[in-house]
């Protein structure tokens, strides 16, 4: 096998000639059906744990079920890709060449989603390498760590407050805002109508102060939206 590889490198042949050159030298790892099933089952268990953590403990504004299912599939698919690569040199070279042309152009809105995706890939790699306890233990530790961070995170959350009012009520609206720590995001004025968008940080379900805006004459509407962006220190 070593002589064939040396001959291939010295000849300057293309990757497509590799299979013909190596020919009978191709040897597959001794992967039994039991090993394959255990590997895929381990990857599926890890993917299921990641799915549950994302489903019940992720605090994103919008829960994406399709992305969560993708994480499970990514974990399992990665595991048998690693099994295939580790079983044969030629196939590993061919797979690297095939995967190099893949491009993903979908924008990831939440940075935490990238973390969950890499978590699934890492679990799939370790399971595919038959490091079952590493995959299971690593997944468990990361899950516990993420859950603890989520539980002990500050109770206050960021929201977008949108207030629509008449320009004549500007002073009264500013008076109510003076009692709240906020960051101005946008202000639009069309004639006598003003739309103010600010970022506020309040405790969960603590929306009693919104009635103070409604009590102001000239305020047309008050809308509060959960916001996942960064908040000021």
Who has greater pLDDT, 230 or 120? Answer: 120
Domains of the chain (ranges, CATH numbers): 31-151 (no CATH), 157-226 (3.30.70.260)
Tell me if the pTM is above 0.85: no
CB 226 within 8 A of CB 214: no
**Cβ-based burial of 166 (10 A; exposed 0-12, middle 13-18, buried ≥19):** middle
Q: How far is CA 50 from CA 16, 25, 133, in A?
A: 38, 40, 16
pLDDT per residue as tens digits for the range 17-65 = 544 544 444 444 567 888 889 999 999 999 999 999 999 887 766 778 8
Query: Strands across the sheet with 182-190, in order?
Result: 182-190, 193-202, 157-166, 219-226
Contact of 121 with 99, CB cutoff 8 Å = no
Residue 44 to residue 80: CA distance in whole angstroms: 11
pLDDT per residue as tens digits for the range 126-143: 998 889 999 999 999 999
CA 162 to chain centre: 28
Average pLDDT over residues 172-181: 79
Stretch among 130-134, 195-199, 212-216 having the lowest mean pLDDT: 212-216
């Amino acid at each position: 096998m070593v002589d064939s590889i040396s001959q291939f490198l010295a000849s300057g042949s293309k990757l497509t000639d590799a299979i013909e050159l190596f020919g009978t030298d191709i040897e597959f790892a001794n992967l039994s059906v039991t090993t394959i099933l255990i590997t895929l089952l381990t990857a599926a268990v890890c993917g299921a744990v990641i799915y549950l953590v994302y489903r019940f403990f992720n605090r994103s504004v919008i829960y994406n079920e399709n992305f969560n299912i993708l994480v499970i599939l990514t974990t399992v698919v990665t595991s048998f890709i690693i099994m295939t690569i580790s079983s044969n040199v030629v196939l590993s070279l061919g797979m690297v060449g095939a995967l190099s042309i893949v491009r993903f152009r979908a924008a990831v809105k939440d940075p935490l989603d990238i973390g969950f995706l890499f978590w699934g890939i890492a679990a799939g790699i370790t399971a595919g390498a038959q490091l079952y306890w590493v995959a299971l233990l690593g997944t468990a530790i990361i899950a516990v760590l993420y859950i603890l961070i989520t539980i002990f995170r500050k109770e206050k959350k960021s929201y977008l407050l949108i207030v629509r009012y008449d320009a004549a009520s500007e002073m009264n609206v500013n008076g109510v805002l003076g009692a709240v720590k906020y960051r101005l995001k946008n202000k639009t004025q069309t004639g006598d109508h003003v739309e103010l968008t600010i970022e506020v940080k309040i405790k969960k379900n603590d929306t009693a102060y919104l009635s103070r805006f409604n009590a102001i004459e000239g305020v047309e509407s008050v809308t509060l939206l959960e916001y996942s962006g960064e908040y000021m220190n």
